[in-house]
Amino acid sequence: MASRNSFKQLEEEQMATHPHTPPEIEQNVMGNMRFVKTVGNVLELYLPKLFELMLALFGGYSKDLKEGGNKDSAESSPEGQSK
Amino acid sequence: MQNDPLGKQGNAGKQSDSELVKLYLSTQESMYFSKLYQRYSNKIYSKCISLLKDEGLAGDATQEIFVKIFLNMSKFGEKSKFSTWVYSITYNYCIDYLRKRKKDRKLFSDELENPPDIQEEVPDSELLEMEVSRLKRVLENIPSGDKAILLMKYQDDLSIRDIAGVLDKSESAIKMKIKRAKHKAQLVYKQLFPNG
């Protein structure tokens, strides 16, 4: 293979013509990143609870809700909650 | 100080790309991603300008490419170098964009209805040793797809396999595309500079 590579030289020339990316690109990328992270955190925090709540509303069985219910009221029966 | 399990926050400048990816994935600290951004943004931006021929479009493309990188960071499996992965995403984005914009127009020489017959392969040295200003003009005058495939191979050293992944084609199809792109470049060179 040839030792010279005009493609790489051309790339260097082009990068010298545009030595810096516009700063708003970085701001937008980081902004998008923060937004995605926040949405991810919110979903991680609330989605399982929402799912359990929906399950309970439609008469399903949720172990967590049952355990929570037992802590709150020791007298209530587990059969009653799963209905 | 925030979570820094490896205690390397101060040395982010000395980390390799894959170390920065690992650090980012384990800590979710944006400073590691920011470091990768600083390393690659200029290259990606100038590559986008070269392929899309518009600074505004190149800015939007760079932004979307980095969002893709960020969203898919956990899928980077170190089967290839991080730079190869980043360039694959860049070319994939630009080629997709050009395909959508050109719609019915063909992006590669071998997609023409009657692609030219090629008997002999153009030697790599003919392209690699071309005068830079002439190479620039040649690349401006060949189809965008041919230009992209030559840049992937000779500027970014992507393997045939990587290029096949970017273009979603078989390796033998890529070899043929490269052959035709080189032939097209040689043809355009002879038209632009008939006196050699």
Kindly tell me if the per-residue pLDDT of A82 is higher than 70: no
**pLDDT digit string, tens, across residues B151-172:** 999 999 999 999 998 888 999 9
Mean pLDDT of B137-154: 93
Contacts of B56 (CB under 8 A, 6+ apart): none
Tell me the C-alpha distance between B82 and B21, whole Å: 9
Contact A25 B132 (CB under 8 A): no
Q: Which residues in chain A are closer than 8 Å to B50, comparing Cβ atoms?
A: 14
Average pLDDT, chain B: 86
**pLDDT digit string, tens, across residues A29-55:** 999 989 988 998 888 888 888 888 888
Task: Report the pLDDT value the prediction gives residue B20, as an integer from 0 to 100.
Answer: 93
Task: Report the pLDDT value the prediction gives residue B141, as an integer from 0 to 100.
Answer: 92
- In B, minimum Cα distance to A21 occurs at B42
**pLDDT digit string, tens, across residues B64-89:** 999 999 999 988 877 788 999 999 99
Of B101, B102, B75, the residue nearest B88 (C-alpha): B75
Choose the closest CB to A2 out of B45, B129, B136: B129
Kindly tell me if the per-residue pLDDT of B135 is higher than 60: yes
In the A/B pair of chains, how many CB contacts fall below 8 A?
87
Task: Report the pLDDT value the prediction gives residue A77, as an integer from 0 to 100.
Answer: 47
Task: Report the pLDDT value the prediction gives residue B170, as an integer from 0 to 100.
Answer: 94
Tokens of B103: 């719609």
Task: Report the pLDDT value the prediction gives residue B140, as an integer from 0 to 100.
Answer: 93
B155 contacts A32 by C-beta, under 8 angstroms: no
Interface-testing mutation among A1, A25, A37, A41, with chain B (most B C-beta atoms within 10 A): A25
Kindly tell me if the per-residue pLDDT of B18 is higher than 70: yes
pLDDT: is B2 or A5 the higher one? Answer: A5
Mean pLDDT of B26-50: 93
Tell me the C-alpha distance between B70 and B28, whole Å: 11
Kindly tell me if the per-residue pLDDT of A79 is higher than 70: no
Q: What is the pTM of this model?
A: 0.78
Contacts of A22 (CB under 8 A, 6+ apart): B59
Kindly tell me if the per-residue pLDDT of A13 is higher than 70: yes
**pLDDT digit string, tens, across residues B90-132:** 999 999 999 888 754 667 766 665 666 666 888 999 999 999 9
Of B185, B31, B122, the residue nearest B20 (C-alpha): B31
